[in-house]
Amino acid sequence: MSIDEEILRLLDATAAGLEPGADTLDELGPDRVARILLDEIVDRARLDTLGTFADTVVVEFRLACHTGAAIVFLSLGDGGCTVSTEPPRAADVVVGQQLGEVCLAVFGPAESVSASTRSVYWNHGNLLEPGAAAAPVFAVTQRLLGALDRRERPGLAELAVRFGSDKWGPHQFTRHYERHLEPWRDKRLTVLEVGIGGYDDPAGGGASLRMWRGYFPRARVYGVDMWDKSGVDGPRITTVRANQADVEAMSAVAAKYGPFDLVVDDGSHVSELTRGTFDVLFPHVRSGGLYVVEDVQTSYWPVFGGNGTDLDDPDTTIGFGKQLVDGLNHDELLLTHEREAAVTDHQIEGVHFYRNLMVLEKGTNLGQSPIADKLNEAIRAADGA
């Protein structure tokens, strides 16, 4: 079983807010589960931001289950952070907790996060006079437990900067994203981003995929790029090589990994390809989900297939978005507008433009317009007269 399948198993097993049963723990192996959990906790804890310590800090996690206890050590020193099943030396602190409860805290719904079975034993320093010597151990442990309990969580901008995505900095997209995504943070989600970054370097880029993974602790994150980006693959992140101009390949990605809660197009930024990708992927967005296109300012630039003179050109991404605004109000329009109905008229309930960014909310858009109906009746009557 791949790490991805193992994590999917744990996400499924905790989805209902219950601890995974003994069968799941046996199937994966308690030691393996403990290791997966610790890797996630360390990834979320951002321990490198605590600075460097003169002495290595060793934290032992004893995660109890029906077969005994799975034990994992974390050591943080000059050489960075390592997670192992062998003790590097006697631990400075031992954190005990039920394995099932830790599974729930890491992968379960927010309301099931709990530390009711936790114990913490300090082996370090004089506990009656905890001073500078103990400070690193306290800081590391506090950060790990804060991450495990989902108390200490970075915002999208911090994650973008941390991993090197231009979604904050050159662009100011993260605050707009957060306006829409903050309420989703603890949901189980499927995210797809087109455009991974790093171009032809298989291990380069992946900044925004890591940003999404860090922001959504229960999400599966998929990335598509025209280059092989397999070096970016990791827990909860899967990359696929496909050119967004290739409708068949993009359809196959959607069929295999969708439906999606969030699709982000940060790929070519060529209007024609952006539109083609929308046509393929939008049907695979769940109702209530979001479809986002970044860098829509390329609509104004002919080198990106944009239009340098006509601001309303429907073949550009912004021109297309303006048409979607009319689609929002499709049943308010008059016969004299002579607009053709679009399939998206009933499927998009929100069109948001921010600087360089377009956010579409998928949802049912049906309504009534007694005034438009009357006005159209009058137009028909006048035409017949």
Ligand X SMILES: C[S@@+](CC[C@H](N)C(=O)[O-])C[C@H]1O[C@@H](n2cnc3c(N)ncnc32)[C@H](O)[C@@H]1O
Which amino acids are annotated catalytic?
269
Residue closer to ligand X by CB (options 236, 330) is 236
Question: If you ran DSSP here, which 8-state letter would residue 19 be given?
Answer: P
Residue 75 or 208 having the CB closest to ligand X: 208
Binders of ligand X: how many residues, by CB under 6 A? 22
> How far is residue 196's CA from residue 212's CA, in Å, rounded to a whole number?
12
Span interacting with ligand X, options 56-64, 79-87, 194-202, 281-289, rule CB under 6 A: 194-202
Closer Cβ to ligand X, 244 or 317, answer by number = 244
245 binds ligand X (CB under 6 A): yes
Q: Mark 252-272 as b/e (b = at least 16 C-beta within 10 Å).
A: ebbeebbebbbbbbbbbbbbe
Task: Give 108 or 205: the residue with its C-beta nearer to ligand X.
Answer: 205
Q: Verify binding: residue 233, ligand X, rule CB under 6 A.
A: no
**Site stretch for ligand X (CB under 6 A), options 49-57, 102-110, 199-207, 363-371:** 199-207
In angstroms, the CA 249 to CA 242 distance is: 6
Token readout for 40 is 């996630």
Q: How far is the CB of 247 from ligand X (least distance, A)?
A: 12
| Tally of CB atoms within 10 A around 141 | 19
Contact 83, 72 (CB under 8 A): yes
- Using CB under 6 A, which of 174, 238, 239, 244 touches ligand X? 244
**130/164 with CB nearer ligand X:** 164
In the block, which residue shows the tokens 């499924």? 12
193 lines the binding site for ligand X (CB under 6 A) = yes
The greatest distance separating any two alpha carbons of the chain, rounded to the nearest whole angstrom, comes to 97
Torsion angle of the four alpha carbons 40, 41, 42, 48, in this order, in degrees rounded to the nearest 10: 120
Does residue 199 interact with ligand X by CB under 6 A? yes
Q: Are 295 and 375 in contact (CB under 8 A)?
A: no
Cα distance between residue 142 and residue 163, in whole Å: 23
| Contact flag: residue 266 with ligand X (CB under 6 A) | yes
Identify which of residues 100 and 223 has a Cβ nearer to ligand X in the complex. 223
- Piece in contact with ligand X (CB under 6 A), picked from 7-15, 184-192, 200-208, 306-314: 200-208
**Options 41-49, 63-71, 132-140, 239-247: segment touching ligand X (CB under 6 A):** 239-247
- 243: contact with ligand X by CB under 6 A: yes
**270 to 289, contacts with ligand X by CB under 6 A?**
273
Q: Which amino acid is at 105?
A: A
> Does 225 help bind ligand X (rule: CB under 6 A)?
yes
By the rule CB under 6 A, 227 interacts with ligand X: yes
- Alpha-carbon gap, residue 33 to 188, rounded angstroms: 19
Contact 321, 297 (CB under 8 A): no
In the DSSP assignment, the letter for residue 234 is B
Residues that bind ligand X (CB under 6 A): 165-167, 193, 195-199, 205, 207-208, 225-227, 243-245, 266-268, 273
